[in-house]
Amino acid sequence: MLNLFGRGKTVKSAAERLYAAVVTRAREPVFFVKFGAPDTMDGRFDLLTLHAWLVLAHLQTQAAQPALAQAFVDRVFVGFDEALRELGAGDIGMGRRVKKFAAAFYGRLKAYGEAADSEAMAAALQRNLYRGAEPPAALVAYVLGVKQHLSLTAEGTVDFGVLPDQP
């Protein structure tokens, strides 16, 4: 019985490390400076969601990881809540705002998950991250490359591979 409590704590810690790795990667200046991702709340949300999708897609390939996947998604939403509160949102409208984040988050996960090739991924990035503008081909290649390369440990260490260096 006590092992169950320890296991939950381990999963939560791993999810926290996954979240920290996703946030760190999504905030890399190369995405904003060289690839023209909007340095706005929406742009940062989209980059975080894109990298969260990469981690979740990997976790789905590992049947033994549903608890970690759920703990990771929970942590992502805690991060959304914290970001809204830092921007001054109060408790009154928080539920409505988080529902909007959830709809956008899951919509993007679906769009990226359905993108089976570079053309479909470019279209998904154009709709979501670039809001109609053509995404750089190197960013599309980066996303598809990370999807193939990504590895993580049960402890929550993520290897996204190298950052893209040129648009």
Say whether pLDDT at 6 is over 60. no
Is 33 domain-assigned? no
- Token pair, residue 79, equals 């991060």
Is 121 domain-assigned? yes
Is 32 domain-assigned? no
Specify the higher pLDDT residue, 157 or 127. 127
pTM reported for the whole predicted model: 0.87
The whole-chain average pLDDT of the chain stands at 86
Total number of domains constituting the chain: 1
Residues 48-73 have a mean pLDDT of: 89
Residues 128-151 have a mean pLDDT of: 94
Per-residue pLDDT band at 2 (split at 50, 70, 90) = very low
Render pLDDT for 75-84 as a digit per residue (tens, 0 to 9).
999 887 777 6
Which pLDDT does position 84 carry in this prediction? 66
Is 88 domain-assigned? yes
Is 165 domain-assigned? no
Is 76 domain-assigned? yes
Render pLDDT for 87-120 as a digit per residue (tens, 0 to 9).
666 666 666 777 888 899 999 999 999 999 999 9
Is 113 domain-assigned? yes
Q: Show the domain range for 58.
A: 13-26+38-156
Which pLDDT does position 154 carry in this prediction? 64
Is 163 domain-assigned? no
Specify the higher pLDDT residue, 59 or 85. 59
